[in-house]
Chains A and B, each alone.
Chain A
Amino acid sequence: MEILSNLALGFSVALTPFTLMLAVIGCFLGTIIGALPGLGPSNGVAILIPITFTMGLDATSALVLMTSVYYGAMYGGRISSILLNIPGDEPALMTTLDGYPMAKKGRAGDALVLSGVASFVGALLATIGLMFLAPVLARVAYLFGPSEYFALYLLAFCTLGGLASNNQAKAAIAACIGLGIAMIGLDTVTGMPRLTFGNLHLMDGVDFLVAIVGLFAIAEVFFFIESHGKDTSIGVKLEKVTLPIRDIVSSGWTMLRCSVLGFIAGVLPGAGASLGSFLAYMSEKSIAGPNGGFGTGVPKGVAAPEAGNNAAAGGALVPMLTLGVPGSGTTAVLLALLMTLNITPGPTLFAERPEVVWGLIASLLIANFVLLLMNVPLVKIFVRVLQVPAWVLLPGVTMISFVGIYSLTGSYFDLLLMVAFGALGYVLRKLDVPTVPIILGILLGNEMEENLRRAMVISDGDWTYLFSSPIAIGLWIAAVAGFMAPLFLRKLLKKPQMITD
């Protein structure tokens, strides 16, 4: 019954005309962002945060707007995957495997509608799961002390590095870059400047938004300059859109299974949506067997990754809201949003600011229905967006990034830093070094160090205190396993490569 009263509170916040309007605008913008090749949930949300912040929205409204954008971008990502064979981000890669062949067979409309419904099922189930699981986990989180939090952060880095990248050493380097940058600025305990090298601009540390926009948005521009926007023009035409009821019904179980799987993958800290869509696709592929035709454009192959992907996006909100540990690149960006709005995620958020949490959950439920409407009957509008040429889109993205950061901090130094992060992001991605651990490191670095130091103060310097509780030991074991296991499993679970024409 508690959930019902909480939900009533949430809907009383979310159903005000203003919040509702923000949710609709967010869904619309998000779907466009997701559909645009070269923009995905993470960089799309990243460039919008500084602007939302400068607009002076209150915490709940800003959160509703940005999570609608997040969900919308997750939905919209499938449009460019299916029609252009260009995944907007990593999790959408799995959708291209069957979506693009299906579109080439002349069933582009069916693929879009089917994946829209699959997205809806995945996201709706995950939001309901979030509703039930988050309060429970929030209660467990009260048991977490400094040593548990330290181990939890470590787990996030390890699973992210182990599962989401191809080379553990490179993922660890990325995490170190992020943590190292987080150390710059005033020491939180002693108040003394650290590693600023006498530069006054660095006294406040490096703003995580500057790093995020640089690494995600500016780096993308460099990639488009390298390819001269050539990848963007080929694509499949969309003729008529009908409701493929037979396909939807026949892949019903697939959607349900994949939603559950995706949700679980999303809840794991550090694993996130990429793992969700990957596991969903691979498990359905093995259930269907070699005669299932996966990879040739079967409806189930379109439904599976989309349900898994969107369920994982919802699941990733669970550790983000209850523990302050993001489960994916985009939730890392959302965590940055919370921190900008001065909301501290964690168990106290549920107790002290229920209107924020439940308002958010209620607007996610509303956003889902809005998105289903936008993405099934109105999908043709968004397909138009794909025709925006890269030579207009990317300069536009750059200018929006500059204005956003500039109006947030008003300093040319931060703009220079953003360009530097963009160049760094380009080189690192070329070298196959993942950039998400860098963001995570910058976001969590100070918290991680503070918890370590607090633990050592409590135990008076006895390091065995870090392993003193069952929860902490469990997290350490999971961290080591998450980091090492892919070394042995990599041969078994080979990622499918993108198909080329």
Chain B
Amino acid sequence: MASDRIFGLVVVLVALAYIAGAMQIQTSFMADPVGSKSFPILIGCIATICGLYMLVRPDPDPEWPDLKTVGSLAVAVVVLVAYAYALKPLGFLIPTAIAAAILSYQISPRPLPAVLTGAGLSAGLFVVFKYALGLGLVAVPKGWLV
């Protein structure tokens, strides 16, 4: 009940913000009867109606994970975000090994298999991508290899 109500409320708020954003769209001299605002506003309105419906008629709550699992999920998100930032400046091998190891640990918390998974995936995928598929990946930043 509560989850759907919160979700409905979020949908309504986002949809209203979206409509407000759509109102701000600049029109140009090339005009057509519909214009560039109407369709986004229409979408926002439909979403608002559906959000309100969910506020009134929510479904039963799903089973949410416990606090510890939410913690591991948050860690996973942080790791993935960090990986996204690290991939370009730090090359492929090292960030991939670290990120894969942490994800593996989050799924099955055993340190040694996790580290091996990280190292294996990093090296294995690099060989496959670079030499079998010919993608232009950088192993480690150029300055590190002297």
Which of chain B's residues 11-32 have a Cβ closer than 8 Å to chain A? 11, 15, 18, 21-22, 25-28, 30-32
Contacts of A431 on B, CB cut-off 8 Å?
3-4, 7, 62
> In the complex where A226-B65, A229-B107 touch, is A176 in contact with B36 (Cβ < 8 A)?
no
Contacts of B127 on A, CB cut-off 8 Å?
none
Q: Are A402 and B84 in contact (CB under 8 A)?
A: yes
Is A400 on the interface with B (CB-CB < 8 A)?
A: yes
Which of chain A's residues 204-255 have a Cβ closer than 8 Å to chain B? 218, 221-222, 224-226, 228-229
Q: Are A403 and B125 in contact (CB under 8 A)?
A: yes
Is A395 on the interface with B (CB-CB < 8 A)?
A: yes
Q: Are A389 and B135 in contact (CB under 8 A)?
A: no
Is A370 on the interface with B (CB-CB < 8 A)?
A: no
Is B143 on the interface with A (CB-CB < 8 A)?
A: no
Chain B window 76-118, contacts with chain A (Cβ cutoff 8 Å), 1 for yes, 0 for no = 1100110111011000100010011101111111000110011
> In the complex where A390-B107, A402-B84, A430-B64 touch, is A452 in contact with B33 (Cβ < 8 A)?
no
Which residue of A is nearest B106, CB measured? A225
Contacts of A5 on B, CB cut-off 8 Å?
none
Chain A at the B interface: mostly helix, strand, loop or mixed? helix
Minimum CB–CB distance for B71 against chain A, Å: 10
Bound CA–CA A106/B18 (angstroms): 56
Minimum CB–CB distance for A495 against chain B, Å: 15
Q: Which of B54, B107, B117 contacts A224 (CB 8 A)?
A: B107
Q: Are A395 and B121 in contact (CB under 8 A)?
A: yes
Which residue of B is nearest A166, CB measured? B59
Q: Which of B25, B101, B122 contacts A195 (CB 8 A)?
A: B25
Which residue of B is nearest A446, CB measured? B39
Minimum CB–CB distance for A374 against chain B, Å: 21
Contacts of A180 on B, CB cut-off 8 Å?
18, 40, 43-44, 47
Q: Are B125 and A396 in contact (CB under 8 A)?
A: yes
Minimum CB–CB distance for A360 against chain B, Å: 23
Q: Are A399 and B32 in contact (CB under 8 A)?
A: no
Chain A interface residue bracket vs B: 35 or more
Q: Are A189 and B100 in contact (CB under 8 A)?
A: no
Bound CA–CA A54/B25 (angstroms): 35
Which residue of B is nearest A225, CB measured? B106
Bound CA–CA A403/B30 (angstroms): 41
Contacts of B11 on A, CB cut-off 8 Å?
173
Minimum CB–CB distance for B104 against chain A, Å: 5
Minimum CB–CB distance for B7 against chain A, Å: 5
Is B145 on the interface with A (CB-CB < 8 A)?
A: no
Contacts of B33 on A, CB cut-off 8 Å?
453, 456-457, 460-461
Which residue of B is nearest A448, CB measured? B39
Q: Which of B34, B46, B100, B113 contacts A176 (CB 8 A)?
A: B46
Is B73 on the interface with A (CB-CB < 8 A)?
A: yes
Which residue of B is nearest A414, CB measured? B84
Q: Are B40 and A419 in contact (CB under 8 A)?
A: no
Chain A window 175-205, contacts with chain B (Cβ cutoff 8 Å), 1 for yes, 0 for no = 0110110010001011110110100000000
Contacts of A449 on B, CB cut-off 8 Å?
39
Minimum CB–CB distance for B29 against chain A, Å: 8
Contacts of B113 on A, CB cut-off 8 Å?
391
Which residue of A is nearest B36, CB measured? A187
Which residue of A is nearest B51, CB measured? A173
Q: Which of A218, A396, A407 contacts B137 (CB 8 A)?
A: A407
> In the complex where A176-B50, A398-B103, A431-B7 touch, is A452 in contact with B27 (Cβ < 8 A)?
no
Q: Are B107 and A228 in contact (CB under 8 A)?
A: yes
Q: Which of A228, A448, A457 contacts B108 (CB 8 A)?
A: A228
Bound CA–CA A400/B27 (angstroms): 41
> In the complex where A422-B80, A456-B32 touch, is A172 in contact with B43 (Cβ < 8 A)?
no
Minimum CB–CB distance for B14 against chain A, Å: 9
Q: Are B108 and A167 in contact (CB under 8 A)?
A: no
> In the complex where A173-B47, A180-B44, A419-B77 touch, is A395 in contact with B103 (Cβ < 8 A)?
yes
Name the residue in A194, A400, A461 with the highest tally of chain B Cβ atoms < 10 Å from its Cβ: A194
Q: Are B59 and A195 in contact (CB under 8 A)?
A: no
Q: Which of A54, A191, A224, A430 contacts B135 (CB 8 A)?
A: A54
Contacts of A187 on B, CB cut-off 8 Å?
25, 36
Contacts of A195 on B, CB cut-off 8 Å?
18, 21-22, 25, 40
User: Considering the complex of A and B, which 7 residue pairs feature the smallest CB-CB distances, nearest first?
Assistant: A415-B84, A461-B33, A176-B47, A391-B108, A395-B100, A395-B103, A456-B33
Q: Name 5 A/B residue pairs within 8 A (Cβ), A-sorted.
A: A169-B54, A194-B25, A226-B69, A389-B108, A396-B100
Q: Interface residues, chain B, CB within 8 Å of chain A?
A: 3-4, 7, 11, 15, 18, 21-22, 25-28, 30-34, 36, 39-40, 43-44, 46-47, 50-51, 53-54, 57, 59, 62, 64-65, 69, 72-73, 76-77, 80-81, 83-85, 87-88, 92, 96, 99-101, 103-109, 113-114, 117-118, 120-122, 125, 129, 133-137
